[in-house]
Amino acid sequence: MPIQTSISVSRRSVLLAGAGLAFMQAMRPYMVNAAALNELRITASPARSALTGSTRPETDVWAYDSQVPGPTLRIRQGEPARITVANKLDQGTTVHWHGMRLPIAMDGVPSISQPLIEPGETFTYTFTPPDAGTYWYHPHANSLQQLGRGLSGVLIVEEREPVSVDRDIVWMLSDWRLATDGGIVPGFGNAMEAEMSGRIGNTVTLNGVVPDDQPVQSGERIRLRLVNGALARIMALRFEGHRPVIVAINGQPCEPHEPEGGRILLGPAMRTDLIIDMQGEPNGRFAVIDDFYKGDLTYALTHLAYSSAPHSRKSTPDGGLRLPANPLPEPDLATAKRHDITLQGGMMGGGALKGVGGMSRMSMSGQADIAAWSINGMSMTGDGQAGMPPLLTLQRGRSHVLTIRNETAWWHPMHFHGHSLKVLSRNGLPVPHHQWSDTILFAPKDTVECAFVADNPGDWMLHCHVMDHQVAGLMTILRVA
Ligand code: C2O
Ligand code: CU
Ligand code: CU
């Protein structure tokens, strides 16, 4: 694990030091611990939230700091963070820092990383993020319900040098199944949905509300961090009248490029950082369309609404769009060990479940988890269990290539904990723009090849992030030892 041991000084301490730079340099080794420790605290509890604005009554949710989404946590690359989680729910929970390369003990998987944080207890997560970028956090316990009832938030790891944009904006997108009385429709873990596309809702919120217009200004350059925090809904966003440039995928910088066909494909748990130059005229209004499900199911997520203010800038700012690289270890393909991983099951899955090592068990919600999916013939259900044998043991320090085949008729955002994977090819074609990902979206029948250096010891989850699929068996463990 390439944990950054070099110590950097926080921006705040730089500002404080002002002109006394020589003094700063001299003091650096002593100032760091006090100034740089990112100390944060969040509390999980029941809350009420006006998800639809005033259209429907407030919704009973489970939330971090009583907000949906939870507070956007900002920590700094290469600086230690301590995040204390207090549990005021009436059931055990954990927090998983999705996409972060951190030690296994901080990964938030019950039984494997840590015991549940029981009601009334707290747990302090400490880690030093090696990579800057857009991440998010959510429970890894009773995941369908805890995530589905509102427990999630965005985690931003700031670059050492700020990226030059006029505004840095986060859109945390969530999907809810709401009844007319504003309540969340029960019935999480429906067996039929688990074998199909999962629990797709009827209400998409942006930063916790059904969105109105998003105010923008002509001429400004925006970094927009998109996070899909939905249980199951896949999104494909188009920005009418604009040409967004993708600068990072799932936290990791890529070669800046325009999305294929102008659509930004975002499966559950996936993030995309865009840079958008706001080139509309004052008072213009442009739709942001999600047309993943086509036809009737296409909807306008929101609109970019320009103020009447004139251009704040005549030309686009200087400086490239490329984000500074993260210190990811480059896999050595020549010596890499190759592994095949096959996803099977689901409705129309073609006899997939023969050979399933079916591990059914009662989940915290009291329902039996059903094994509807499998990975190489084994189904691991729920949220993570002790004693589950790893699918593969990967030699530590070595490069590995995973060839993952989706033999099912369904889409799957496949997520690997504790590492970022270099995406080499999809269906035999090289993947452009140097993409690294912790979550890779598979269309039905897709085959993706990805590579990484197994530098982070532990038992790491590999699972689909459609929560119904995860808890119904599309999950396994890869051991790095
Ligand atoms: Cu975001 Cu194991 O998950
Ligand atoms: Cu994760
Ligand atoms: Cu899936």
DSSP string, 170-221: EEEEEEE-B-TTSPBP--TT-HHHHTTT----SEEEETTB---PEEE-TT-E
Amino acid in position 12:
R
The span from the first CA to the last CA of the chain, in angstroms, equals 12
**Alpha carbon nearest to ligand 1 atom 1, residue:** 98
Residue 371: per-residue pLDDT: 85
Residue 14: per-residue pLDDT: 31
Nearest by Cα to 341 from 408, 271, 438: 408
pLDDT exceeds cutoff 80 at 21: no
Relative to the CA of 98, which ligand 1 atom is closest?
Answer: 1
Residue 313: per-residue pLDDT: 65
Looking at the CA of 193, name the nearest ligand.
Answer: 3
Length of the chain: 481
State in Å: Cα 139 to ligand 1 middle: 8
State in Å: Cα 187 to ligand 2 middle: 25
Strands 133-138 and 271-277: unpaired
Relative to the CA of 461, which ligand 1 atom is closest?
Answer: 2
pLDDT exceeds cutoff 50 at 356: no
Relative to the CA of 384, which ligand 1 atom is closest?
Answer: 2
* Separation in Å, CA 417 to CA 44, 49, 269: 22, 30, 12
Q: Which helix (H) or strand (E) holds 25?
A: helix 21-36
Looking at the CA of 374, name the nearest ligand.
Answer: 3
Average pLDDT over the chain reads 88
**Alpha carbon nearest to ligand 1 atom 3, residue:** 98
Tell me: the pLDDT tens digits for 370-399?
A: 789 999 999 888 877 667 789 999 999 999
Q: How confident is the model at residue 316 (pLDDT cuts 50, 70, 90)?
A: low
- Give the Cβ contact number of residue 269 at 10 Å: 28
pLDDT exceeds cutoff 60 at 271: yes
The three-class DSSP label of residue 426 is: strand
Mean pLDDT of 402-423: 97
C-alpha to C-alpha distance for 294 and 296, rounded to whole angstroms:
6
Q: Which residues pair with 417 in a beta bridge?
A: none
State in Å: Cα 408 to ligand 3 middle: 9
C-alpha to C-alpha distance for 87 and 81, rounded to whole angstroms:
19
State in Å: Cα 96 to ligand 2 middle: 6
Looking at the CA of 110, name the nearest ligand.
Answer: 1
Q: Which helix (H) or strand (E) holds 147?
A: helix 143-148
Looking at the CA of 194, name the nearest ligand.
Answer: 3
State in Å: Cα 380 to ligand 1 middle: 14
Looking at the CA of 383, name the nearest ligand.
Answer: 1
137: left (phi over 0), alpha (psi -120 to 50) or beta: beta
Angle at 454 between CA 76 and CA 392, to 5 degrees: 130
Note if the pTM is more than 0.85. Answer: yes
The answer to whether 336 and 400 are in contact (CB under 8 A) is: yes
CA-atom Rg of the chain in angstroms: 22
Relative to the CA of 140, which ligand 1 atom is closest?
Answer: 2
Residue 355: per-residue pLDDT: 37
Residue 295: per-residue pLDDT: 86
The answer to whether 352 and 446 are in contact (CB under 8 A) is: no
Amino acid in position 202:
N
State in Å: Cα 216 to ligand 3 middle: 36
Cα dihedral 85→88→89→94 (10° resolution) = 10
Nearest by Cα to 436 from 359, 328, 355: 328
The 8-class DSSP code of residue 78 comes to T
| Contacts for 190 with CB less than 8 Å, ≥ 6 apart | 199, 468
C-alpha to C-alpha distance for 432 and 35, rounded to whole angstroms:
40
Residue 474: per-residue pLDDT: 95
State in Å: Cα 219 to ligand 2 middle: 37
The three-class DSSP label of residue 307 is: coil
Above pLDDT 90, what percent of the chain? 78
C-alpha to C-alpha distance for 93 and 121, rounded to whole angstroms:
10
State in Å: Cα 363 to ligand 3 middle: 19
State in Å: Cα 461 to ligand 3 middle: 14
The answer to whether 207 and 69 are in contact (CB under 8 A) is: yes
Relative to the CA of 269, which ligand 1 atom is closest?
Answer: 1
For residue 420 the two structure tokens come to 């970022």
Name all residues whose Cβ lies below 6 A of ligand 1: 96, 98, 138, 140, 269, 415, 417, 461, 463, 465
Q: How confident is the model at residue 27 (pLDDT cuts 50, 70, 90)?
A: very low
* Separation in Å, CA 415 to CA 235, 270, 434, 438: 17, 9, 18, 6
pLDDT exceeds cutoff 60 at 298: yes
Relative to the CA of 136, which ligand 1 atom is closest?
Answer: 1
Relative to the CA of 99, which ligand 1 atom is closest?
Answer: 1
For residue 143 the two structure tokens come to 């995941």
